[in-house]
Copies of this chain bind each other. A is one copy, B any other.
C-alpha cells in the first residue's frame, strides 16, 4: 500500500471529524504540517491544544498558500458553498476532498467550481458519534470504519488513488460508489433513521404531563431507538436539506409500512388482527436479523 505524503494539509473545520483527521494524519505521519482553518480562533485553539493541528488560521488565503492538500470538514452545505470561494486560492495540483454526508449536489458543485488542475475526490468517512466537537476527536476514529469515495466521469484517476490511500492510511476501508448511489443508500440507512428517531421522541415528549415518569421508566429500547436524535443540529439540518428529495422518497416507503401497521391494528376480526401483526413483526424481525446475523 502506498502512503500519500503532503507538505501542508489544510483542514477546514476542526470539529469531531476534522479534528480526528488531524490527529490521525499526524499519527500516521502523512503530512509535514497540518493547518486548521476556521472562522473563529476559539475552536482552533482548542484543536491546537489537543494536538489535532500544528497551526491555525482564520485567513483562507494565508492558510491555502503553499498547501498541497485540503480537507473540507464543515457541514455539507457549507462544503458545497466553499468550492467557489477557495477555488481561486488553491495551488495547481492540490488534492481536495471532504467529509460531506450528502454527495450529489456537493460533487456537482466541486466539479463546476474548482479550477481545472485541482485533484478533487468526494469522500464520506462513515465514522461518527452522537457527540460533536473536537474534544471527542481521536487519532483512531477511522480505524476499521468505512470511507466511501464518490468519483464521477470527470474524476481524475490520480485524485481517486490519492483519496483511497489517504483514508486507508487513516485506518479506514474504502468503498467506491457514485454520488447518486451514495445518496440513495444513505437516505435509507442514515438520514431516514435520524428523522424517524427525532419524530418518535418528539411525539412521545410533546405535550406530555409525565416527563418524569417517562424519564424514570424509559428502558434501553427507547434510549437505543432515539439515541441519534441527540446529534448535532447544524450538520443534520444541512444533511436533510441537501438530500431532501431522496429522504422524502424513503419517508414515503416508511409511511406505506406504517399504514400497514395501522390497518392491522384497526382490524376488528381477532384472527385477521393476529395474522397481520405476526406477518408485519416477522418481516421486521427477519430484516433486522439479516442486517446483523451475529445479533449485535
Contacts and interface: CB of A to CB of B under 8 A. Distances in A.
A226 B224 CA distance: 8
A148 B216 CA distance: 11
A1 interface: no
Nearest to A275: B237
A262 interface: yes
A264 to B, nearest CB: 8
A193 B225 contact: yes
Interface residues of A, number: 88
A273 interface: yes
Contacts of A254: 199-200, 203
A268 to B, nearest CB: 11
A195 B281 CA distance: 8
A233 interface: yes
Contact of A280 (B185, B198, B291): B198
A105 interface: no
A85 interface: no
A174 to B, nearest CB: 12
B230 A285 contact: yes
Nearest to A293: B215
A200 to B, nearest CB: 5
A60 B199 CA distance: 46
Nearest to A244: B265
A292 B224 CA distance: 11
Interface in A278-296: 278, 280-285, 287-292, 295-296
Tell which of A126, A194, A285, A287 has the most Cβ of chain B within 10 Å: A287
B266 A258 contact: no
Interface of A is mostly: helix
A210 B250 CA distance: 15
Interface of A: 126, 128, 131, 146, 148, 175, 185-186, 188-190, 192-206, 208, 210-211, 213-231, 233, 236-237, 240-241, 244, 247-248, 250-251, 253-258, 261-262, 264-266, 270, 273-274, 277-278, 280-285, 287-292, 295-296
Contacts of A250: 203-204
Contact of A190 (B221, B228, B266): B221
Contact of A258 (B215, B223, B241, B255): B255
Contacts of A295: 131, 230
A254 B270 CA distance: 25
Given A224-B225, A258-B255, A240 B203 contact: no
29 contacts: A146-B216, A185-B210, A188-B208, A189-B204, A190-B222, A193-B200, A193-B225, A196-B258, A199-B257, A201-B284, A201-B291, A202-B283, A202-B284, A202-B287, A206-B253, A206-B287, A215-B290, A218-B291, A222-B291, A224-B228, A226-B288, A231-B285, A233-B278, A233-B282, A237-B277, A241-B274, A248-B262, A248-B265, A251-B258
